[in-house]
Amino acid sequence: MQSGKENSQFSILNSQLIRVELATPEDLLNCDLLILASSTWNTGGPEGQLNPHMHAFVFGRGKDIALNGKNVAIVGLGDTRYHYTCRAADYLEQYVRDHGGKVISTLKILNEPYGQEATITQWAKSIIDNEQWKT
């Protein structure tokens, strides 16, 4: 688990990074803005599944959580060589809605994230600038 202030252009935010295999359902509630991220895997069913650790959380430890209007941003990673690329983002969006949360933004990163820093930074800035979650 890593936590603390991020030393970047977004250093105004306090953030905490928790790997899903170490997360508890309560961790999802202890923040103003939750960001859920998962790569898309081909395990546990047809292609386009959640990362195995995220799958275990969503359908196991986190299956009964009530997000009660929690603002959530989603990041999904995928590979265009597969038909259901970035489908992990779709699963996470559905999870948030099914548990009463509110998806405020989704970023789908195709193929390698390297070289996409500008897109990722722009997405992050749009979330920070979004007054919707600050109320």
One pLDDT digit (tens) per residue for the chain, 135 residues: 344 433 445 455 678 889 999 999 999 998 889 999 998 887 766 777 889 999 999 999 999 999 999 999 999 998 888 777 888 999 999 999 999 999 999 999 988 888 889 999 999 999 988 766 665
CATH code: domain of residue 9:
3.40.50.360
135, part of any domain = no
| Number of domains within the chain | 1
Pairing of strands 49-50, 33-41: antiparallel
Quick: pLDDT tens for 116-130. Answer: 899 999 999 999 887
130, part of any domain = no
134, part of any domain = no
132, part of any domain = no
67: containing domain: 2-124
- pLDDT recorded at residue 7: 41
Model-level pTM greater than 0.75?
yes
